[in-house]
Structure 1
Amino acid sequence: MLDHHPLAAKAFPGALAALTTNKLFESRDLEETRAMVGRVMKPHHLGIVGRGQRLESRMHHVSLGEVSLSRLHYGADVDIEPGPLGDFFLVQMPLKGWAHVECGEQVVESGPEMASVLNASENTAMRWRADNDQIMVRISRALVERTLAVQLGRHLHEPIQFRLGFRWRDSELWTHLITYLLECASQVQCLHRHRLVVAHIEQLVAATLLGVHSHNYENAAPVRGGPVLPRHVRKVQEYLDAHAHEPIRAEQMAQVAGVSLRSLYAGFREFCGVSPMQYLRDLRLERARADLLGGGGSVSGVALRWGFGHLGRFSAEYRERFGESPKESLRHH
């Protein structure tokens, strides 16, 4: 079954190869392995189960701001005890092999069809089998909490707790997200110079996880806000016009307007016909066009400068909006 999945190594070599080029380490030494994994995750206990086994560990790692993507294999049965993760959540998706995972009071046998989502605030202990080979997405706790607080329009009164077991292959949104992250891994050196793209990736990962996987706030109702008047929308428009070149989070816009995020979205749709984030995206398209017409660099460079990480999608949106391709605009300058 694994070979028929789009993320299987045989069926999707290109995306996985992008991550594989970013090797963090390869080792047979227990202490070195523990130290290297601990550098990008957290200090933890790591022990080989039984005698006669040797580590054949390897790890690939890419950091994308408050999100990181890793692939890890130990090559021996190991016990891993990190305790509470503290400042991050971790989604572990086996490409092959198995792991026994305990987080708080939840227990799951994780394999190719069943990922595990480790909660930041709960004690974690795991046993990975020798054949376990996993892709892992590490997501900052602060990022997930900010994203959820914006969605609800209020502060969180208790820690976020996700269900431990996650049938990740059943979620088309999540599998497309992982494919996108793997593609980003191939451009990581370039992406680090473009804050707008990295901020987009961060928000996309946090919002997607909250949207597709069960957690203790999933049935919480957003706070009702007061009415949004044209002046609220105008204040946000002026702010976006002045700061379009910077990473802008949704909660910043709500603070500028002085209303809840839910009310702001409703107000923008009423007075502008689009959401605030779409308004910002359209504004950045206009800035990208101005740069291209002014000869401000290559198409890919301009796209990344204005937060468009997927060149094909940028070109399609650009042509739909302006009736010509970015390359054609660049030739006109």
Structure 2
Amino acid sequence: MTVMYNELPFSYNTCLESRDFEEAQAFLNSRIDEREVIPLTAQGNSSNCFTLQPLRQTLLFGAHWGERVHIRSGALSTCHLVLPLSRFIEVRSINRFVGPNEILLMMPGSEADLVWEADCSAIVITFDREVLQHLSGLEREAFYSGALRILRPQDRHVRSLFSLLQCLASQHQINEGEILPVMQQHWESLLIESIANQLADPTPDHIDILPLQLRRAVDWLQAHIEQPLTVSDLVKAAGCSRRSLENGFQQFIGCSPARYILQQKLDLAHQRLQQTQGTVSEVAYHCGFNHLSHFTRLYKDHYGETPSQTLKRHTLVTR
């Protein structure tokens, strides 16, 4: 789902495009919780942009900050999901970076303390806790007031949510931003169901806090995901012993470093095939797989279909 600024979702409802950070702050405060916007590297030559797709009781924003910016808030009154599309967002309260294909979930009562990299784009979803509870039937205990979660891209609920957002963004384009109320209700129900499934999962696949050494390894991996990678590369990036890295991955992420590298690369390949970004061999090569037959076997074992089948299915949907 990686996009550039000129491909920010929901572009038919562009609400603001401005170099003025005070104007951007005023826009945010008029629609969601009060927050402070502090430019860190503002040179005045890059625009900030916000787009919008409202559903019945849920707001979806496309957000792009042209320069590095620090965003802070008090206790949030609504649930927030932040999905980076390009570059990284630093979550200072847990000393963690969130990158493309990961999701930051902030429950009511938590505080935003985020640093967006320059030219970072993301989708931001806000909704009242009562909407989620009413539509999904979740118990109040599922909301963990004040909690922060980082949801990992290999989780099936996360993949489902990304697919829904891709479809919704396409509907926005087809209907030039005017989605009928009945369809808004439909998309909102699907969206809430996907989020509720994640919250109700008895074995949630998420990262709340990673030790510094693991964060270094994970962030370095995301920055070099298109290259052929080994566990030794992660050991160097983390600055610890191989044994410490392997123990940390098992304890905090639930798999070995080698398995995590493979999952990240397969997820990237899967997303690019869904977006029909090249042939199977091109996608395999650009995701760091040097042998097409090996890539095909691993992909089929993970997704239950061959890369060619994924590409064909989504090419037909696009047409």
TM-score, reference length from structure 1: 0.52
- Tell me the amino acid that sits aligned with residue 150 of structure 2: G
- 1:198-217 aligned at under 5 Å gives the runs 198-211=184-197, 213=198, 215=199
Residue 57 of structure 2 corresponds to 66
Aligned pair 1:128/2:116, yes or no? yes
- Give the conservation status (yes or no) of the 8 Å contact 1:97–1:131: yes
TM-fit CA distance, 1:122: 1.3
Tell whether 2:97 aligns with 1:109. Answer: yes
8 A Cα contact 1:121 1:159, kept in partner: no
Task: Choose from 156, 161, 171 the match for 2:140.
Answer: 156
* Cα pair 2:87 2:99 within 8 Å, conserved: yes
Matched, 1:180 2:167: yes
1:166 to 2:151 alignment? yes
Distance 1:58 1:181, change over 3 A: same
Q: Structure 1 residue 9 and structure 2 residue 25: aligned?
A: no
AA aligned to 2:2 is A
Out of 32, 36, 39, which is 2:23 matched to? Answer: 32
Counterpart CA distance in 1 for 2:71 and 2:8 is: 27
**In structure 2, C-alpha distance between the alignment counterparts of 1:189 and 1:22, rounded to whole Å:** 6
**Shift in alpha-carbon separation, 1:169–1:135, aligned structure 2, 3 A:** farther
CA deviation map 1:244-302 (0-9, x unaligned) = xxxxxxxxxxxxxxxxxxxxxxxxxxxxxxxxxxxxxxxxxxxxxxxxxxxxxxxxxxx
What is the CA-CA distance between 1:137 and the residue it aligns to?
A: 2.1
List runs of 5+ in structure 1 lacking aligned partners: 1-6, 221-333
Partner of 2:68 in structure 1? 77
Give the aligned residue type for 2:202: N
- Give 1:92 deviation, angstroms: 1.2
Q: Which has the larger radius of gyration?
A: 1
> SS of 2:165's equivalent?
helix
- Indicate the residue corresponding to 2:127 in structure 1: 139
The alignment partner of 2:75 has SS state of coil
Shift of 1:51: 6.7
8 A contact 1:100–1:126 mirrored in 2: yes
Distance 1:182 1:21 in 2: 10
CA RMSD of aligned residues (A): 2.9
Aligned counterparts of 1:158 and 1:56: Cα–Cα separation in 2: 39
Q: Aligned to 2:2, what secondary structure does the other structure show?
A: coil
Indicate how the Cα distance of structure 1 residues 134 and 25 shifts in structure 2: closer, same or farther if over 3 A, else same.
same
Deviations along 1:82-115, one digit per CA (max 9) or x if unpaired, are: 22220x2221111111111146xx4430111322
In structure 1, the partner of 2:221 is: none
One-letter identity of the residue aligned with 2:184: V
The structure-2 alpha-carbon separation of the partners of 1:139 and 1:184, relative to structure 1 and needing over 3 Å to count, comes to farther
* Partner-residue secondary structure (3-state), 1:60: strand
